[in-house]
Amino acid sequence: MDQRPLIVQSDKTILLATDSAVYHEIRDFVARFAELERSPEHFHTYRISPVSLWNAASAGTTPRDILQGLMAYSRYPVPPNIAVEIEEQMSRYGSLQLVRRGTELVLSSPDGALLRRVARNPSLSKVLADRVDDGFAVPVLMRGKLKVVLLKLGWPVEDLAGYTPGTPLTMGLRERTLAGVPFSLRGYQRDAAEVFHAGGSERGGSGVIVLPCGSGKTMVGMGAMAQLQRHTLILTTGISAARQWLRELRDKTTLKDEEMGEYTGLKKEVRPVTVTTYQTLSFRKKKTEPFPHYDLFTTLDWGLIIYDEVHLLPAPIFRIAAEIQARRRLGLTATLVREDGREGEVFSLIGPKRYDVPWKDLERAGWIAGALCYEIRLDLPADEEEDYFAHAPRRQLRIASSNPAKDEVVKRLLDRHRNDKVLIIGFYLDQLRRISVRYDLPLILGDTAQGKRDALYDAFRRGEVRCLVVSKVGNFAIDLPEANVAIQVSGTFGSRQEEAQRLGRILRPKQDGSSARFYTLITRRTADEEFAANRQLFLTEQGYRYYIVRAEELDLLDELP
């Protein structure tokens, strides 16, 4: 039997056998034009979609490149409809172009009929201005809006209008950290930065890098900064994340302290490299008032804007992103899944996906820790069960998720991992407070003072605190490489992005090479179980196996393979 590694199917999915001798080569080929959907042990599943093909076209890949590769590597004949779909969708990218004519932006096309047809769409009436010789004038501030509208119409515009250069800034990456440890970018980090930069061409300068938590996305950002050598604005998820960026920049780049600033609710430093938070930029006293900190986007002549955890980009930042399309934009994330379905706006306003690597590949290479995932199921107490069925669905989820029977399972897991570094993560604050008080564990919530947060994180790193109870603030940007166990007691409905972030908290490589443990506590036969099924889809998509164990059989964990 022909054992070529690809199986191309008429439903636009592609199966890639992981035991192939040329797996890595073929994976890199397929990732150029298809989205990874699942990556279990033996076959990875990719799907060809309009956005994935437009991503490929934006990077210079042609339909011929894709079809020749598919025919060369496919175990069976490529279905005819796949060739038609690839040709049709990729021809759309670049059929409309946004170019600069002097000081004006112009939407143009070599296909005059297409241009006229698109321009008649009512959704573009307030986006396009007067007709010019070879197209339609586009107001500068409508550059982002135009791209979003055209994407929704199925005609992604190729933006060739270029970028504002930005103020030069001399910087580089250190060969040794401040502690004297040798430092250089890992191969995949360097590749990601170079793909984003694209040699400084018009095809580079905007886009998203997708890498697991713990794999060093911050290093990719620093690599892009070192290539561009320009003033940079970095947007993060919170003060802890902002200060983590500043620590890394100080430790691994040649930037001086006076060249780096923190712009948060606690400080207002604007410097050549400024790190801020989404909360700061989105703040306003009333919904009817303007955003007072939006001026930060124009205070300095930024040559690059980095959006950390870009999948969490709040709506007000989308709005300002649409208005600053002349700036280079780099998005960093562990997953492009957005619970609000706005992935298309990330593509339009930040840029196409430029680079990603399956999580399990980095695990096999030792760049992130292995993880064993467990779902522990338990019942509601009889009195709680009666209360559960008497309420509406939203209240039912809260009752099931906050099941007090979970507390005892938490205790048993803490006893089991008394020598480990444990994070207990949840969504419902009353549940977290209850666990914190019951077991005398330090608690970090959204309203915990920053100084106290930092002190507890530092104590955890030093081993003085072995367990922290954290709310949603623990989902991202906590640099705790020592954490090797996570106990998830409740989650945000069926959020796959949250599952990615929480698993990522324990994936920093361990000095002894051991695997991390990720436990999710679920109340059986309730909404808690239903939403957990969606969250755990992320685990299976990334190739992780998870074991289902009943609470009364917890001792059987030692017998699992």
Task: Look at residues 357, 374, 404 and tell me which one is the last residue of a structural domain.
Answer: 357
**Average per-residue pLDDT for the chain:** 89
**Residue 346: its pLDDT value, please?**
87
Asked if 235 and 352 sit in the same domain, the reply is yes
Domain CATH number, residue 530:
3.40.50.300
Asked if 416 and 537 sit in the same domain, the reply is yes
Asked if 106 and 83 sit in the same domain, the reply is no
Q: Which of 147-156, 283-292, 311-320, 506-515 has the highest mean pLDDT?
A: 147-156
For residue range 387-425, what is the model confidence (pLDDT) as tens digits? 888 889 889 999 999 999 999 999 999 999 999 999 999
In a domain? residue 279: yes
Q: Which residues of 11-44 are buried (b: 16+ CB within 10 A; e: fewer)?
A: ebbbbbbbebeeeeebbebbbbbbbbebbbeeeb
Asked if 351 and 410 sit in the same domain, the reply is no
In a domain? residue 181: no
Higher pLDDT, 311 or 194: 194
Q: Which of 227-236, 261-270, 507-516 has the lowest mean pLDDT?
A: 507-516
CA neighbor of 305 nearest in space, from 296, 315, 292, 316:
296
Q: How far is it, in rounded angstroms, from Cα 415 to Cα 541? A: 31
Task: Look at residues 71, 92, 113 and tell me which one is the last residue of a structural domain.
Answer: 92
Asked if 202 and 75 sit in the same domain, the reply is no
In a domain? residue 154: yes
pLDDT over threshold 60, residue 239: yes
**Residue 560: its pLDDT value, please?**
66
**Residue 55: its pLDDT value, please?**
79
Asked if 60 and 196 sit in the same domain, the reply is no
Asked if 370 and 507 sit in the same domain, the reply is yes
286 contact partners, CB below 8 Å, separation of at least 6: none
pTM for the predicted model, two decimal places: 0.83
In a domain? residue 249: yes
Domain that residue 231 falls in: 187-357
Mean pLDDT, residues 29-53:
84
For residue range 53-101, what is the model confidence (pLDDT) as tens digits? 987 887 778 999 999 999 999 999 999 999 999 999 999 988 999 998 8
Higher pLDDT, 152 or 544: 152
Asked if 253 and 139 sit in the same domain, the reply is no
pLDDT over threshold 90, residue 538: no
**Residue 555: its pLDDT value, please?**
82
For residue range 148-161, what is the model confidence (pLDDT) as tens digits? 999 999 999 988 88
Note the Cα 280 to chain centre separation in Å. 20
Q: In which residue are the tokens 């047809």 written?
A: 117
Asked if 205 and 328 sit in the same domain, the reply is yes
The total number of structural domains in the chain stands at 4
Higher pLDDT, 469 or 336: 469
Asked if 239 and 328 sit in the same domain, the reply is yes
Q: How far is it, in rounded angstroms, from Cα 222 to Cα 306? A: 10
Are residues 30 and 6 in contact, defined by beta-carbon separation less than 8 angstroms? yes
**347 by DSSP, 3-state: which?**
helix
**Residue 452: its pLDDT value, please?**
92
**Residue 11: its pLDDT value, please?**
95
**Residue 431: its pLDDT value, please?**
97
**Residue 275: its pLDDT value, please?**
97
Higher pLDDT, 19 or 561: 19
Asked if 152 and 252 sit in the same domain, the reply is no
235 contact partners, CB below 8 Å, separation of at least 6: 276, 277, 278, 281, 305, 306, 307, 308, 317
Asked if 124 and 218 sit in the same domain, the reply is no
**Residue 104: its pLDDT value, please?**
87
For residue range 421-437, what is the model confidence (pLDDT) as tens digits? 999 999 999 999 999 99
Query: Is residue 180 classed exposed, middle or buried when 0-12, 13-18 and 19+ CB atoms within 10 A define those classes?
Result: exposed
pLDDT over threshold 90, residue 272: yes
pLDDT over threshold 80, residue 338: no
Amino acid letter, residue 317: I
